[in-house]
Amino acid sequence: DAGVTQSPTHLIKTRGQQVTLRCSPISGHKSVSWYQQVLGQGPQFIFQYYEKEERGRGNFPDRFSARQFPNYSSELNVNALLLGDSALYLCASRDGGHFSYEQYFGPGTRLTVT
């Protein structure tokens, strides 16, 4: 079975531009979470979606937005990019059941803002 997939793998953008990152969860998983990992730090929670609804949002500005589609894939959008947005963006999926605890992470999208 395919794991969590993310695209693109790498991305270079200029300050002020907008970017869209994509994530496909493991088949059957209804919950998708997004994390930002700045170099040298642990990942930080950005969003979680379950059944196409936002279930949680971390401490990120409104420039960050996301959505989940009927097939449970997800997009993370970042507007007006800043140099500080340069990071590895990780997507994680979970089946969403009450007793499920394990989050499966994708390989990430490495975003560089110049």
Name the residues that contact another protein, by CB under 8 A. 33, 35, 40-45, 48, 50, 54-58, 88, 90, 92, 94, 101-108, 110
**Helices and strands (H and E) in the chain: how many:** 0, 11
Least separation in angstroms between residue 65's CB and another protein is 16
CB nearer another protein, residue 54 or residue 80: 54
Alpha-carbon torsion (84, 85, 86, 90), positive or negative: positive
3-state secondary structure of 74: strand
Query: Taking the chain, what is the end-to-end CA distance rounded to the nearest angstrom?
Result: 37
Least separation in angstroms between residue 16's CB and another protein is 26
CB nearer another protein, residue 15 or residue 54: 54
Least separation in angstroms between residue 30's CB and another protein is 13
Q: Is the peptide bond before 107 cis (omega within 30 degrees of 0)?
A: no
Least separation in angstroms between residue 31's CB and another protein is 8
d(C-alpha 68, C-alpha 52), whole Å: 5
CB nearer another protein, residue 4 or residue 113: 4
